[in-house]
Structure 1
Amino acid sequence: MNPVATLYMENGKSVVIELLPESAPNTVNSFIYAAQKGYMDHHAIE
């Protein structure tokens, strides 16, 4: 099973994103690392 990331929006809704390590292993690892360290907390995705 692939890892997932859940994005929580200000309006109370959420978006679940399936990460695909077999397609982009470095990007997935970087995303997970940054998320675990809190680097993405309270930041807008543009």
Structure 2
Amino acid sequence: MSDFSVTAPAASVPVLWAELGSATRSFMDFSRAIFDTTTTSVA
């Protein structure tokens, strides 16, 4: 799995990278919301 990710040429899989980027942004937004909630609760 990791070998494939490392050796895969980005130019040959634009759709995959686009989906990965979108998923990453969604995950970061989700994590930020959880982090903000946790920080507020702790504070």
TM-score (norm 1): 0.37
Higher strand share: 1
TM-score (norm 2): 0.39
Higher helix share: 2
